[in-house]
Structure 1
Amino acid sequence: MKYKLLSIFCISLILLFIFNAKIAAVENKDNNSEMTDERVIEIIKEIADFMDSGEKISDEVSCRESDGYHDYYFKNQEDEEKLYKYHRDYIKDAAYDYLCEIYDIRFYRGRCTQSRTSRSDLSSSLYYKIDTNGNFHIKSRDKKSICVQIQFVKKVILTENMPEISDGEVYLELCEDNKWRISKVSQWFDDLAYYDLGYCMKTFFDPEYSSLSDYEKFIEKYGYDSKGNRISMYISTDDNDEIFQGSDTELISEAANLEKLKKLSKLAASMAREEIYARHGKIYPKFSTEFNYFIRKIWYEENENFNENNLSDIEKENIKIISEYIESF
């Protein structure tokens, strides 16, 4: 009898262990390195379809709670919680912000369960969404990363030269908590535009007036070095909205200025060089990179009488120094 009870007890423990293991397997089917290719694609489509339906998932609701704000947001509590779960379990922050902009999911100040930051200016620059009816396949994968080839479909009317359908990728990363999360979404309008340039993308390239070939030339010129390596396109300005304030009065060859120059990206250095000309009102071809950039500057005024001979010796020397730096890429 003693042994019979012991056997029953052991069998019960084994069955309990198996049951718990099955429950854990179900709960963690997406949380381990053995996620299948099929499940990876399913997750991407599921998230894209949900966020697409959420673009205008509800009416514009004012003051659902007594916070006094008027924003687009999910009307139903369960939808807010579902989006929160997708973000928490499946999407890293940078990719989440990017997806929220693609699908025009606005920041709801009361609960903060949608886009963590409000970027209305940037959302007008994203014109494609994931085509969940398009072709999906695993492009590459290893123990900690997965790249899925996907397709994007044009979201709004652009110039005729913009493709209706374009290829792209979704990258997943195995995080420290052993969960796979989307780390980046990329297409021809890819991370060079959003993750690197951010809001400044439309400052240089406006797809309402430019073509895909214009974009590709822009990326090729400023996004790669002479060896074909990907380089940063980061750019920033000072309080006067200039990259190199004082380049018209101070020599860049001085130590402090030279150190500042060496920190500039190829794109920033190119605009810093043009900045010297632009202060004198140099006129640029309409919708060119330089035109798109300087036409937005408060201090810039086109000068039909512009002449390079009017540049000072300091300005000419600084143009030479910046040009040598640009050639070093």
Structure 2
Amino acid sequence: MLETSARLLRLLSLLQAHREWSGADLAERLGVTPRTVRRDVDRLRELGYPVNASPGTGGGYQLGAGAELPPLLLDDEEAVAVAVGLRTAAGNGVEGIGEMSVRALAKLEQVLPHRLRRRVSALNAFTVPMVRAPRAQADPSVLTELANACRDSERLRFEYRDHQGAATRRTVEPHRLVCTERRWYLVAWDVERADWRTFRVDRITPRPPHGPRFAPRTPPAEDLAAYVSKGVSTDAYAERAVIRLRVPAERAADAVPPSAGVVESEGPDSCLLHTGAANLDVMVIHVALMGFDFEVVEPPELTLHVRAIRDRLSRALGE
């Protein structure tokens, strides 16, 4: 009986770790016959686990979604990763996630073995987080609704508020959610504007019903993180510039968050910063405060603003 119970746990772990298994693969992993696998699957179903089976040579077993959340099996590394992730989730800019994370963490730590609890405690006791408070928080239910629409390739309808608070109705074909340290964004094909758009999730209010389903389009870029970064740091502004920073790209990237610009490597000692601002004076100050030597690549007008600010500072120093 003990051997059977251990095998059931092993079978459940395999089903939770892989989208679909063939009966032969499961039998080989467990060291039993396909007939035993079928009996064990039936036992899991009796315990409330929704194990789906598809017939035929290409069929197999898959753990489906049930009416209730069944117990999950985590190995040591997975349990530690989940516990640490829950402890740091409060700083990720999702409204209410702190309280939910604490509740989930309390349940997890209650059943963690002592050796794993010590590892989690050590990681948290000797780690100092350095994250900024999120500017705007995204509603978890909205994130879930958007993620489901992306997964199901289902048209999405919502009200969108711009930076001035004006609201418009949008119908989009959602593609992916992209998160930064401080905000969440939805990348989607805007049906009425016939073009790709990036939307801040905290400005989205879903307006169901959604649908119908659509055939996924080729995304606007392979690197969606860079695509969103360029959109929110450069394309969204009236004034745009390319500036050569006299430091390696890796060093510049540490000082330039994705919402402030896109860093492009140019060589071992320099890189190009693509950025934008409301006006060129603000851009000069922003780049100067980075603390790097720089050179204006474009536009030429930016050089004139650099000189004007230089002269202004010189006069302030009485030079």
TM-score between both structures, scaled by the size of structure 2: 0.30
Structure with the greater relative contact order (CA < 8 A, sep ≥ 6): 1 or 2? 1
Which structure shows the higher strand fraction? 2
What TM-score comes out, normalization by structure 1 length?
A: 0.29
